[in-house]
Amino acid sequence: MSTPIELPKWADVSLVPILAVVVAFLVAGLVVLGIGENPVKATLLLLKGALGSGEGIGYTLYYATNFIFTGLAVAIAFHAGLFNIGGEGQATMGGLGAALICLRLDFLPWYIVLPLAILGAMAMGALWAFIPGYLQVKRGSHVVITTIMFNFLAATLVVYLLVNVIGKPGSMSPETRVFAASAHLPYLHEALAYFGIKIPKSPLNLSFVLALIASAFVWVLVWHTKLGYAIRTVGHSPTAATYAGISIGRITLITMAISGALAGMLAVNEILGVQGRLLLEFSSGYGFIGIAVALMGRAHPVGIVLASILFGILYQGGTELSFEMPRVTRDMIVAISGLVILFAGALDGLIRRPVAGVFARLLKSGA
Amino acid sequence: MEIYATLIAILESGLRLCVPLVYACLAGLWSERSGVVDIGLEGKMLVAAFASAAAAGATNSALIGLGAGIIASIGFALIHGFAAISQRGNQIVSGVAINMLAAGLTALVGNAWYAQGGRTPPLEGDARFQPLIWPGADAIDHIPIIGPIYAHLISGHSALAYCALVATIASAFVLRRTRFGLRIRAVGENPAAVDTAGVSVTRLRYSAVIIAGILCGFAGSYLALGQAAGFLTNMTAGKGFIALAALIFAKWRAWPAMWACFLFGLLDAIAIRLQGVIVPAIGQIPVQAIQALPYLMTVILLAGFIGKAIPPKASGLPYIKGR
């Protein structure tokens, strides 16, 4: 990362991340081989489970929705040179924000509750990222460490609230009551049935559409607005930004808040779309996998959507796979995400350098 | 007298709980003092816990288990070192990758090998580090005040717990008094100066990363062979991050690191003790509030409201000759 390695742009944005993923999968294949299963058969089962049926595709896109939100959250922070590892906590707080609105106002019609609940999720997620941003700007504590701490703080806060304050009375498991139907974001099969189109039932809901809108929003924001220009300038060269009269502090705060709001929207998919109540650990690692998604997608919304679909395939296919091959559990996906983060992120040079070498040789023989 | 017995019990459990934190925190100390930021403590502890439980189960020897735990942890430390030092990759990204890789692999392999939902078969006898009972501990136990202190706080811990104290003393001494230790610290503050003096930055940083691996190996093995009797999925449960918090709290120094870990271990013990207990005049104290304290205190400290925590100057920055 520190030594720029010259590559044609198309190779930089597509070839290198694809190679990184291929290497990650090869290593994962070795692991599958190591525990005594056939990696080729596993891959075929996985693909069949994820894409072999309408229901499977629905689940794949439902998981992808989560990854798009958390991936965008990490990516926009990357553009400002910030590393937001707090996606988990921001998503958890987003769930709290949505739940507080729903618990109080779900007697109102959907066109009032739903927008308010979505805004609540975004606001609480934004707040949980804004505070670490503020502490970095005003008090000099690094966002990486504070966002990690804020993940744990969010988790303990929500446990406390669910057990003692907003939990369903008399329930053994820490969760709120089920929200009224007006606070439910329609499933896609319900929404399309309204227009007379029939698709198989799955948890895929309108959040997917929101995720695509959010991707477009990030694209416009980062590359086609003044604010986005300022964000990228701060990320590339804080010194240049200062000379250009851009306030680094202000940009840090705004970027963290947007990043947190995006992570908070994970709750829109999980809480408003599927669960219909607030429960513990609904963010189950999506925040961290968002880092893999952002690195793989080269922090570009198009890349992020594609990477999210890939991880959606892994999640859904992985679940199906674990039924067919009980030895290959869904923990495989966590390991693969780790490998992707390693090869597309920290060991990026390991792939980039040989690719650059090949290009240099091609250019020489061409000239 | 009952209050005293409770106090001793809480201190005893706090001591037990702080041992893995001390090892992990010292690991972070070595790594970060040399300029390599390590948020992968959690992952290294987890692989060590798994490897030690698997090896101890197979050989019925806690020592072989410890060895396997250390080797596994060093393996992961070297991945981090290779990414951070040789490849000059982003150290935070690498740490996140280590944590996810460890969480995924241990659960996956554990489930495939033992088919018990990710846990290893329970260990007993020689496969665990048993508490060492010091001479006369049982006889003295009933003597008021001093008896319980000797019997429960000084005696009765596993060998690995006493080693944690040794590791603290050794780390403090080596980092403060020896040439190697001073060079490690120098390379974390100003690698160019060390390089100019003709000492290899790469070599120093790799040795620090390996020492961190060894210490995380102890931490994980203690979890699986001392505290528990075998490996459980994700059994580190954030301890690596508490250790990181303790490291910041201790301002990257060995003795304060140990005390910070003891404080956080004690808080954990109090939280466990207070579960569902109604305290007179206060009512029920929410356990979560105590559990959140280490993180909260670290954030407040980092924000400079109580003193100031300043990390080693070159931590997180890859070293490039000629810059």
Output the tens digit of pLDDT for each of chain A's 367 residues.
444 567 788 887 788 888 988 999 999 999 999 988 899 999 999 999 999 999 999 999 999 999 999 999 999 999 999 999 999 999 999 999 999 999 999 899 999 999 999 999 999 999 999 999 999 999 888 888 899 999 999 999 999 999 888 888 877 788 999 999 888 999 989 888 888 888 888 999 999 999 999 999 999 999 999 999 999 999 999 999 999 999 999 999 999 999 999 999 999 999 999 999 999 888 888 998 999 899 889 899 999 999 999 999 999 999 899 888 888 888 888 899 899 889 988 888 888 888 888 888 887 876 5
**Residue A6 domain-assigned (yes or no):** no
- State whether B104 and A157 contact (CB < 8 Å): no
Identify which of A36, A141, A335 has the shortest CB distance to residue B101. A335
Instruction: Say yes or no: A295 contacts chain B, CB-CB below 8 A.
Output: yes
Query: Alpha helix locations (H) across chain A?
Result: 9-10, 16-34, 39-51, 54-79, 87-105, 110-139, 143-160, 188-194, 207-224, 226-236, 238-243, 248-264, 266-267, 286-296, 301-324, 331-341, 348-366
Identify which of B105, B115, B241 has the shortest CB distance to residue A335. B105
b/e for A325-351, b at 16 or more Cβ within 10 A? Answer: bebbbbbbbbbbbbbbbbbbbbbbbbb
Identify which of A85, A332, A349 has the shortest CB distance to residue B96. A85
In the block, residue with structure tokens 């240099």: A360
pLDDT tens for residues A8-50?
A: 888 877 888 889 889 999 999 999 999 888 999 999 999 999 9
**Residue A88 domain-assigned (yes or no):** yes
Instruction: Say yes or no: A74 contacts chain B, CB-CB below 8 A.
Output: no
Identify which of A2, A35, A346 has the shortest CB distance to residue B109. A35
Give the mean pLDDT of B243-260: 92
Closest CA–CA distance from residue A283 to any residue of chain B (Å): 15
The predicted structure's pLDDT at residue A1:
41
Q: Of B294, B168, B150, B152, which Cα lies nearest the Cα of B219?
A: B168
Closest CA–CA distance from residue A23 to any residue of chain B (Å): 15
What is d(CA B234, CA B43) in angstroms, rounded to the nearest whole number? 9
Nearest chain B residue (CA) to A132? B299
Give the mean pLDDT of B89-104: 92
- State whether B90 and A350 contact (CB < 8 Å): no
b/e for A270-301, b at 16 or more Cβ within 10 A? Answer: bbbbbbbbbbbebbebbbbbbbbbbbbbbbbb
Closest CA–CA distance from residue A50 to any residue of chain B (Å): 20
Closest CA–CA distance from residue A157 to any residue of chain B (Å): 7
**Residue A147 domain-assigned (yes or no):** yes
Q: Within 13 Å, how many C-alpha atoms sit on residue B53's CB side?
A: 32
Interface test with B, best of A33, A74, A146, A148 (most B CBs within 10 A): A148
Structural domains of chain B, with CATH: 2-302 (1.10.3470)
**Residue A161 domain-assigned (yes or no):** yes
Closest CA–CA distance from residue B271 to any residue of chain A (Å): 12
Q: For residues A245, B317, A138 and B245, what is the CA-based torsion angle, rounded to 10 degrees? A: 160
Instruction: Say yes or no: A354 contacts chain B, CB-CB below 8 A.
Output: no
Instruction: Say yes or no: A331 contacts chain B, CB-CB below 8 A.
Output: yes
pTM: 0.90
User: How many domains, in total, are found in chain A?
Assistant: 1
Report the run of H or E that residue B110 belongs to, with start and end.
helix B91-114
Interior angle at CA B79, CA B75 and CA B82, nearest 5? 130
Instruction: Say yes or no: A2 contacts chain B, CB-CB below 8 A.
Output: yes
Q: What share of chain B is helix, strand, coil (3-state, %, to 5)?
A: 70, 0, 25
- State whether B90 and A345 contact (CB < 8 Å): yes
Residues in chain B within 8 Å Cβ distance of A146 = 299, 302
Identify which of B79, B109, B241 has the shortest CB distance to residue A148. B241
Identify which of A145, A153, A338 has the shortest CB distance to residue B97. A338
Residues in chain B within 8 Å Cβ distance of A35 = 108-109, 112-113
Identify which of A3, A34, A341 has the shortest CB distance to residue B96. A341
Nearest chain A residue (CA) to B40? A338
Domain hosting residue A128, numbered range: 70-294+304-312
**Residue A177 domain-assigned (yes or no):** yes
Q: Of B94, B93, B92, B84, which Cα lies nearest the Cα of B318?
A: B84
Residues 87-146 of A with CB under 8 A from B: 135, 139-142, 144-146
**Residue A320 domain-assigned (yes or no):** no
**Residue A158 domain-assigned (yes or no):** yes
Nearest chain B residue (CA) to A82? B92
Closest CA–CA distance from residue A265 to any residue of chain B (Å): 22
Question: Which of A126-130, A172-176, B23-27, B282-286 shows the lowest mean pLDDT across its residues?
Answer: B282-286
**Residue A129 domain-assigned (yes or no):** yes
DSSP-derived 3-state class of residue A279:
strand
Residues in chain B within 8 Å Cβ distance of A154 = none
Give the mean pLDDT of B272-283: 74
Give the mean pLDDT of B32-42: 94
Residues in chain B within 8 Å Cβ distance of A311 = none
Interface test with A, best of B92, B99, B113, B297 (most A CBs within 10 A): B92
The predicted structure's pLDDT at residue B306:
67
- State whether B108 and A83 contact (CB < 8 Å): no
The predicted structure's pLDDT at residue B307:
67
Nearest chain A residue (CA) to B243? A149
- State whether A345 and B111 contact (CB < 8 Å): no
